[in-house]
Structure 1
């Protein structure tokens, strides 16, 4: 007969008994030398206390006193809660407690476990362990170390397909057994719990949610791990061998304070590593102790816990006495990542933690040989100056270890060079989810050691992460339709501009990139309105019902503002917020309280944007961008399901390093490429559980088709991309077939029959466990498909049948079932995303913000400036002579004063030119008012060129003529009647002028721009 004890339980015990090296000895629960009410095996614990503590060995009665105090810690759980009691007991296990057992009452450290020589410990595996507290239980497997129960396992039958490891885990978390509540004292000393049904294996810390349990494999296992007893026994041996257990206890069991909501008190939790974190952290420490190679690349999928990995590695490095008090430098490349890392380390109460606040402080810490864990952004190396004559840098100590998060982004340039110069003998370990392997930027070259196969030290890929439940799969829904970006439409619009303005080939070439830029279509008001309508409708119907939240990623800051007002009008201002980089300018204070309403930064933005922007909104966004506490408060509100904030609108911020598990859906309306694409997508892949509801996967709503060339954009092996994204259309195709497969179990049953009679009729079609298990497996797949699609109108015709099947499933499923066929609903691993007429490479070229800087840049010398000003002055003097109007006289006097100041060397040529532009603007105004010099339509179109040609000296350089003609050409192509009073007109003219000034080396002279624009505004 096959049951849970004969197959799984005995199999696991046999494997542990047969381990090579340090073994587990076996003792059946009924033979343990303890009473049912006892937690410890006192006899074994007392022996260990005497053997590990010489002072106690001299006075064995002291051992009884220690055991008495340990029982006191257990009793504290009823008042402090299980996690806090477990943390207090952990301090005893880690020899952090002392008692006055030495000579003359001196305090001595109390050792419960020997971590240095594990042979000195007593390891026992037991089964069917009887324990009585609030209720009476029999634990399937208990692992004792020196008489202390460190591990408890629950085992279920291996022969019923509808039963999973989650059923065993449920015994700890809830249901009738609810071990962590009903027999809480037994788990005060606990290190970990595990569960298995003979096919799969998972472990978790006390009070862990389902999402926090995980499997135990090896990162070398790239392919699917086939479920079965062999896999379970391998996991059992890998995790539960004495060496691994004691390493987990000594270096990896963490207690961290986690904020669960904006207005809820922090929660203390216990954290255990997943196996990739365990492996990689150990490899870092081993490599540092070995001394070679002095670098390593850790390539772990986005969302699989690199922050915790660095925390584990840093703690282990700091506590290893052989490394002689090392310095660990944790380097990130963004402020939001800096905040996240600081919260991870700070929440875990890491000792000797230093948060570097400035470039100056960083240099001081390094030069002053600070020991501990320093957390900084790579940009704080900016002010360091490399001194090639100094080979020692700022600190040449060889026990400095640098852990670089997101290693691909900032390490190729001067910042990476400065860091390596400052720390010439340091170890450098790069951690990334998206390495770059291009010619110009190559993560493998920077961090990958030549000795490492594939040039990575540890690898944990997409398929492994999703397979293990460390991250959720991400599906995408292309919603292109009429919103699709079509190059033909852009080209047609460009040709219309050419025809209507009679542009020659040179003019056509000058405008081609501008007319072809993606932003022209992406930010068109009608398109933005249509996108916002779709987002609001989808969010209300698909995301909000799940109790989760979303992000909107748009083209640029202009689009952020447009989208904010559009969505705020539909969802309410409390539901949406913008997080973006804002040019920082201090807000002036006039009386200590009242802000000066003349905020230059705000006025600049208001002039640049095509729509209305409220000053209060701008100032709020400026504060959020510039104040880390404000941004943290905003993000905490977003993460809190009870808070009204539902959607974050971003363009660059929060696309990397932003960890908000509540984020389910990303509305993507920005072309992304390379590693940024995968990083942004993975904001939605975090595990999340709220009110018993699990997030099954993340969702990307793709308005641009940016996923269509995903493999090319990321330049990865196609095999590594498989399983990252799943298409919703594939789920819709599968669901009707799976629904019918379930209905086929009940031929001839009247599904309209309600109540008990209807249930009994259906159950007659499932006469035995075999048939019920087959139905449970089929319905498990259907349920996963349904969850992935729901809520969606597509499901409407299937709802009645689905509800009926769900009712029947509930009536036959095993009691305590909390999950079934975890992987059955993942769907196809490879989704080919090819949509007609869209190419990510083309989009990437079109949105290059540097395109306007690719033209040749001329430098206007002082001599050329003077010549340009002289030409303008001659023309103005000719126009002003002969007028008696006092306004003309005054303008003439201004001109004469300007010329005298220039000739006397009081002002430079560029200042002379600025003054002349002012006079020119005022001259046109006076001429219009007096009618002395009417401005014709020809003047409007070619006025500047005409003025130049009439007055230029023969020696004027050709570059001056180019400046003048270019202004006329661009203005002619962009101006239209009433442009001065329109929303977009001034902005277009300003941009045209900026392009011209930049092209000729004058782009940074703001005063010249202002005066030139004022003249253009008055004249045209």
Structure 2
């Protein structure tokens, strides 16, 4: 234990503290927790907080008693947490930190603003880094590192020892999130003032907001850092310096700590969450503000890969700009390009309750807002600029102020045509910042003149690449798999043939367009009924075997609206119509009769459409698609249903809508049957790259099933510089090449082990090859890679020859996997398919026999040889671990962690085999008892009969076993016939059962044995 503390404290903890103390120009002073001027139950250091209140508020300085009143009020906010929940209390406390509260402490009882922190003059604050801070709430805790600003604990850090390979920052984060420590629950009041939490083990570092799950914690680097600089103690200290310096912490508190409401499903109430920035968002937002303040250059291009949070980046930048007094109340114009993006941005900004936010509804209104000099944050779509007429003689445009800042989302598409010119004319002195999720292609170079400043290398002010976002865990990798080669359509030869015809007949461009529209050969081929039928069969087969078992969902992208409808009826018939839905732009379809549809009159054209496509389109279906298309709220509700894992909707069928600006992390697989290119293709495939974690299952990657061969030549599909999109998408074929090699690597851990040995013998033999934590962690890392490869390929026939070996390795992995959060990144939970495979092939033995055998004569364990004791212990441990691992119940997790400790003590030679076995037996008894209490494992009929037999043996040792068996069987039969649910608590139940029991005992001449009757009745009451 001493060595563990030595490692944890001297290496990581002191390293972090020393770096903070040594920051140049900083004010962190060090205190050991023992020397803090506070009691263990205090959250604030009152003395420091009082000093700050007096120095930052002249009215309080004149009357220092007022400081006590403020502190009293702050304690009240802390107490609210038990009623409102931690996040809401944290949000309320932040209003105090942000000087949004007033109290009547001025002259004549005037209300004055209460300042807790000076954001403008950083040196006016008091910064303390404290170590091993003692705090007592529901439990007693010692926080490794706490950062106090003016006596308020804004940051809490947990550090772990770096001696074990599988221990990562996640093990520190686990102390906040759950397990036995579960700080956010057990020490909740301490986190009401919290800005952020961090965790490290000396090699990696991550931070998160209160109540964030593991996927929402992130690293803190800079976008410029090289790959090799991102692990090790030097990297941790660089993160500490970058994030935990006083200036950055106060900037995050002032402009980046947001609260938002998210829906978690139709049946569950919306959830309030706290948002913190990822480092690329923080970096780019600050660059925008710095550039606006400097006044030059008045533009910049930000390329942050799709899925890394550009909507939030715009929100952060807008808030910072609005909060900066030097900018004299600026106008921030957020420009988006589509209705679906518009609603996503609105959701981000609206959910976060941003002040002074105006959604501009029309072109006319936009012109009015600009001319009337509206201040605040305006959200509009680029197309609302369409009606603005450029007047060359007017050089002032609509508004020539220079504190108008335009943030343009998806900049690559927005600037086409004259829209960019119109924006430039309307706002001649504005600053323009473009955000894009895709790199600049050679064709688009000129459209970026509007944003790319010559001063910026490569024209980018800030770039955050695909590789960086995957490495940081901001997105997941996307893989593709080509399918059904026989159904490919040779697009190139169609195009070639078309050009030849056009040339032969000397057609001009207009005639060519007319011909291609009429011929539409590609569309005809793509939508051939036989082909669509075959593709729908393949989607059903793939979705049922690959996607559904993972409890994830999919999208189907088809050529046009006709294909959407074809696919809807094909998939609906095979999967059920409640599992599929179409989202398409119905208005522009050639199916809307004049005067029909939206104005409430009957729309007859759906019949014509049905006839043309030879499909059973019903009026009800058609109207529903129209409504989904025309009603933003309906579309949002549909998307919420799709995001809800419990909702039966599994597949969305689209052609153009929802390919951009649509975030549904549960979307794992895209079935692609539409020729897409460049940014449209990149945007579409990134619908699958969002992080998702639920029910212990983590989405490892996104998948594109490619029916058209879109990805066969990536260079032509994505016309970008290959360096910029390196590794953006890889074929599943590559996984098939890697799997045999990885399998070999895993099997190499078990030289000479007979893999045909079943049950305990086989598992024990394998476990002996992993004698130390280090070896087990190495195996876990290797098997983790194998498991991901397997999961991605499964259930392909390719895997057949490897199945037995994989199954064996999975069982060994599961048998040594620690319980709780230990090494959460390396020891990930297995995917549902693998667990199912293990369970189908494992006869989980019961520990009851072992317990009963040993408990009946506890002294018998002393007569076993040490080898036998160890063997018995190993067997019991395997069984116990199997039982405890399946439950997420914290009490079971605590028992599992106790087992881990016992084994480590045995392996380290601290205890002998006999003590290990005794410790295991104690835990086993508790497990059985806990299972009974929680109903985690229902007691089987066999258990009941065995236990009754044992009870009779103890009480009536002189009866022959045959008679006892008859008595027990008879009692069992009669009690089962007499009992009913809840009989124990009913008026008549106990009487009926007692009567039945007494009659049975009388029948066997045992009616007078009171002790036997009482014991038997107590047992029946507890177990039947």
Cα distance 1:794–1:195, how it changes in 2: closer, same or farther (>3 A)? farther
SS at match of 1:38: coil
Report the Cα distance in structure 2 between the residues aligned to 1:783 and 1:107, rounded to whole angstroms: 62
Q: Partner of 2:604 in structure 1?
A: 599
Report the Cα distance in structure 1 between the residues aligned to 2:817 and 2:631, rounded to whole angstroms: 53
Establish whether residue 545 from structure 1 lines up as the match of residue 546 from structure 2.
no
Cα distance 1:822–1:441, how it changes in 2: closer, same or farther (>3 A)? farther
Between stretches 622-631 and 452-461, larger displacement belongs to 622-631
Q: Partner of 2:777 in structure 1?
A: 773
Establish whether residue 700 from structure 1 lines up as the match of residue 707 from structure 2.
no
Between stretches 155-164 and 112-121, larger displacement belongs to 155-164
Report the Cα distance in structure 1 between the residues aligned to 2:630 and 2:58, rounded to whole angstroms: 59
Q: Partner of 2:822 in structure 1?
A: 817
Cα distance 1:32–1:713, how it changes in 2: closer, same or farther (>3 A)? same
Q: Partner of 2:836 in structure 1?
A: none
Cα distance 1:595–1:383, how it changes in 2: closer, same or farther (>3 A)? closer
1:746-775 deviation digits (Å, cap 9, x = unpaired): 223344555555443333222233323322
Q: Partner of 2:189 in structure 1?
A: 185
Corresponding residue pairs, total: 817
Report the Cα distance in structure 2 between the residues aligned to 1:490 and 1:407, rounded to whole angstroms: 33
Q: Are 1:463 and 1:720, in contact at CA under 8 Å, matched by a contact in 2?
A: no
Report the Cα distance in structure 1 between the residues aligned to 2:428 and 2:608, rounded to whole angstroms: 45
Q: Partner of 1:277 in structure 2?
A: 281
Q: 1:311: Cα distance to partner?
A: 0.4
Q: Partner of 2:456 in structure 1?
A: 452
Between stretches 575-584 and 118-127, larger displacement belongs to 575-584
Establish whether residue 234 from structure 1 lines up as the match of residue 273 from structure 2.
no
- Segments of structure 2 that go 5 or more residues without pairing to the other structure are 831-1024
1:522-551 deviation digits (Å, cap 9, x = unpaired): 111111110111011111111111121111
1:108-137 deviation digits (Å, cap 9, x = unpaired): 211111111111111111222222211122
Report the Cα distance in structure 2 between the residues aligned to 1:389 and 1:285, rounded to whole angstroms: 32
Q: Partner of 1:207 in structure 2?
A: 211
Q: Partner of 1:59 in structure 2?
A: 63
Cα distance 1:448–1:327, how it changes in 2: closer, same or farther (>3 A)? same
Report the Cα distance in structure 1 between the residues aligned to 2:18 and 2:28, rounded to whole angstroms: 10
Q: Partner of 1:903 in structure 2?
A: none
Q: Partner of 2:537 in structure 1?
A: 533
Cα distance 1:367–1:226, how it changes in 2: closer, same or farther (>3 A)? closer
Q: CA RMSD in A?
A: 2.9
Q: 1:804: Cα distance to partner?
A: 3.8
Report the Cα distance in structure 2 between the residues aligned to 1:512 and 1:152, rounded to whole angstroms: 65
Establish whether residue 763 from structure 1 lines up as the match of residue 764 from structure 2.
no
Establish whether residue 140 from structure 1 lines up as the match of residue 147 from structure 2.
no
State TM-score, norm by structure 2: 0.76
Report the Cα distance in structure 2 between the residues aligned to 1:243 and 1:71, rounded to whole angstroms: 26
Pairs within 5 Å for 1:878-897: none
Q: Partner of 1:77 in structure 2?
A: 81
SS at match of 2:435: strand
1:455-488 deviation digits (Å, cap 9, x = unpaired): 1111111111111111111011111421222369
Q: 1:143: Cα distance to partner?
A: 1.0
Q: 1:610: Cα distance to partner?
A: 5.5
2:727 equivalent among 723, 748, 757: 723
Pairs within 5 Å for 1:831-980: none
2:24 equivalent among 16, 20, 42: 20
Between stretches 323-332 and 484-493, larger displacement belongs to 484-493
Cα distance 1:139–1:774, how it changes in 2: closer, same or farther (>3 A)? same
Report the Cα distance in structure 1 between the residues aligned to 2:8 and 2:420, rounded to whole angstroms: 56
Establish whether residue 560 from structure 1 lines up as the match of residue 561 from structure 2.
no
Establish whether residue 743 from structure 1 lines up as the match of residue 775 from structure 2.
no
Q: Partner of 1:894 in structure 2?
A: none
Establish whether residue 464 from structure 1 lines up as the match of residue 468 from structure 2.
yes
Report the Cα distance in structure 1 between the residues aligned to 2:600 and 2:253, rounded to whole angstroms: 56
State TM-score, norm by structure 1: 0.76
- Segments of structure 1 that go 5 or more residues without pairing to the other structure are 499-503, 826-1020
Q: 1:613: Cα distance to partner?
A: 2.9
Report the Cα distance in structure 1 between the residues aligned to 2:348 and 2:182, rounded to whole angstroms: 30
Report the Cα distance in structure 1 between the residues aligned to 2:495 and 2:663, rounded to whole angstroms: 40
Report the Cα distance in structure 1 between the residues aligned to 2:758 and 2:148, rounded to whole angstroms: 53
Q: 1:440: Cα distance to partner?
A: 6.0
Q: Are 2:592 and 2:603, in contact at CA under 8 Å, matched by a contact in 1?
A: no
Report the Cα distance in structure 1 between the residues aligned to 2:398 and 2:492, rounded to whole angstroms: 57
Report the Cα distance in structure 1 between the residues aligned to 2:827 and 2:336, rounded to whole angstroms: 35
Q: Partner of 1:96 in structure 2?
A: 100
Establish whether residue 9 from structure 1 lines up as the match of residue 4 from structure 2.
no
Pairs within 5 Å for 1:397-476: 397-439=401-443, 442-476=446-480
Between stretches 800-809 and 715-724, larger displacement belongs to 800-809
Establish whether residue 625 from structure 1 lines up as the match of residue 626 from structure 2.
no
1:274-318 deviation digits (Å, cap 9, x = unpaired): 000001111111111111111111111001000000000111111
Report the Cα distance in structure 2 between the residues aligned to 1:429 and 1:645, rounded to whole angstroms: 39
Report the Cα distance in structure 2 between the residues aligned to 1:138 and 1:381, rounded to whole angstroms: 58
SS at match of 2:442: coil
Between stretches 265-274 and 779-788, larger displacement belongs to 779-788
Instruction: Determine which structure has more spread, i.e. the larger CA radius of gyration.
Output: 1
Establish whether residue 363 from structure 1 lines up as the match of residue 370 from structure 2.
no
Pairs within 5 Å for 1:256-405: 256-405=260-409
Q: Partner of 2:694 in structure 1?
A: 690
Q: Are 1:476 and 1:728, in contact at CA under 8 Å, matched by a contact in 2?
A: yes
